[in-house]
């Protein structure tokens, strides 16, 4: 069995950067309300954001040996997607965060726990996790790196594009990045127009064409 696959297809870096200019919420809505990861996975700091290629790794619960292996093989621009059995153990801290920065890794997203949150915030390395926990981990059990992974309610393939910010984390298929960018641009343009119409005095009912819908549902207003 091959545990570590190092050769994965990634989206063009320019396209990743372009997609990363949009918010996670905009990407999610623009691609048909798809790709949102478990909303319990949150950034250590609300100002943290990232966009990069998924580099998947499976760690056994309360074990971080494969996370250390993943850091050793990940490439600049990669986002570590760490499945660790949804356990509140501190598998990642400031020492490994510094290792990630030194290797040019973009971010870490885990359904497990992290610690040394103050030091990681000061370092400025984006970390999104389900738990904050001081309990340590062992280094015992092997697992796969860069295999398709069900994580946060989504099937993530190595090389898929992951965007995270203060609202959450969203997945875009590697082959759909360009179309997602176009959809995000169109959505941003529509929303800018909505805002201008509000400023001119129109109501949400008018802007969103809700009149007929509300009437069909029997809405009554006492004026």
What gap in Å lies between CA 5 and CA 73, rounded to an integer? 9
Name the one residue in this structure whose structure tokens are 């510094």: 98
pLDDT of residue 104: 98
Name the one residue in this structure whose structure tokens are 């996670």: 24
Which of 166, 129, 167, 136 lies closest to 151, judged by CA? 129
pLDDT of residue 32: 97
Per-residue model confidence as pLDDT tens digits over 81-116: 999 988 889 999 999 999 999 999 999 999 999 999
The H-or-E segment that residue 162 falls in is: strand 161-165
Beta strand 161-165 with 168-172: parallel, antiparallel or unpaired? Answer: antiparallel
Per-residue model confidence as pLDDT tens digits over 174-186: 999 999 999 999 9
* Sequence-separated (6 or more) residues with CB below 8 Å from residue 97: 108, 116, 119, 120, 123, 125, 127
pLDDT of residue 15: 98
Residue 2 clears pLDDT 80, i.e. is over it: no
What gap in Å lies between CA 113 and CA 133, rounded to an integer? 6
Residue 223 clears pLDDT 90, i.e. is over it: no
Per-residue model confidence as pLDDT tens digits over 40-90: 999 999 999 999 999 999 999 999 999 999 999 999 999 999 999 888 899
pLDDT of residue 6: 95
Three-state SS at 221:
coil
E strand intervals along 64-146? 78-83, 90-92, 107-114, 127-132
Instruction: Name beta bridge partners: 113.
Output: 90, 131
- When pLDDT is averaged across residues 155-183 and rounded to a whole number, the result is 98
pLDDT of residue 73: 98
Find the range with the poorest average confidence among 22-26, 87-91, 163-167, 207-211: 87-91
| Domain boundary assignment for the chain | 13-181
pLDDT of residue 86: 85
- When pLDDT is averaged across residues 117-121 and rounded to a whole number, the result is 98
Per-residue model confidence as pLDDT tens digits over 188-215: 999 999 999 999 999 999 999 999 999 9
In terms of Cβ atoms closer than 10 Å to its own Cβ (0-12, 13-18, 19+), residue 119 is: middle
Which of 168, 170, 142 lies closest to 156, judged by CA? 170
Could you tell me the CA-to-CA distances from 68 to 27, 48, 72, 98, 223 in Å, in that order?
A: 31, 22, 6, 12, 65
- When pLDDT is averaged across residues 155-170 and rounded to a whole number, the result is 98
Overall fold of domain 13-181: Glucose Oxidase; domain 1 (3.50.30)
pLDDT of residue 91: 94
- When pLDDT is averaged across residues 168-172 and rounded to a whole number, the result is 98
Which of 134, 136, 156, 138 lies closest to 147, judged by CA? 156
Whether pTM > 0.75 for this model: the answer is yes
């Amino acid at each position: 069995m091959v545990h570590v696959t190092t050769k994965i297809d990634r989206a063009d870096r320019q396209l990743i950067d372009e997609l990363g200019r949009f918010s996670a919420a905009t990407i999610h809505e623009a691609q048909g309300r798809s790709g949102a990861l478990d909303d319990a996975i949150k950034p250590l700091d609300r100002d943290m954001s990232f966009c990069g290629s998924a580099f998947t790794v499976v760690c056994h619960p309360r074990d971080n040996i494969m996370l250390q292996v993943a850091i050793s093989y990940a490439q600049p621009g990669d986002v570590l997607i760490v499945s660790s059995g949804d356990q509140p153990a501190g598998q990642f801290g400031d020492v490994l965060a510094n290792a990630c920065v030194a290797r040019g890794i973009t971010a870490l997203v885990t359904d497990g726990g992290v610690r040394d949150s103050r030091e990681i915030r000061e370092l400025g390395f984006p970390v999104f996790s389900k738990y904050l926990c001081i309990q340590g981990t062992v280094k015992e059990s092997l697992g796969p790196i860069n295999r398709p992974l069900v994580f946060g309610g989504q099937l993530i393939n190595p090389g898929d594009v992951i965007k995270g910010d203060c609202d959450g984390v969203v997945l875009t298929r590697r082959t759909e990045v360009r179309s997602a960018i176009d959809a995000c641009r169109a959505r941003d343009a529509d929303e800018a127009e909505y805002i201008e119409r509000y400023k001119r005095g129109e109501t949400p009912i008018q802007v969103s064409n809700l009149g007929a819908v509300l009437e069909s549902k029997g809405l009554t207003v006492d004026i």
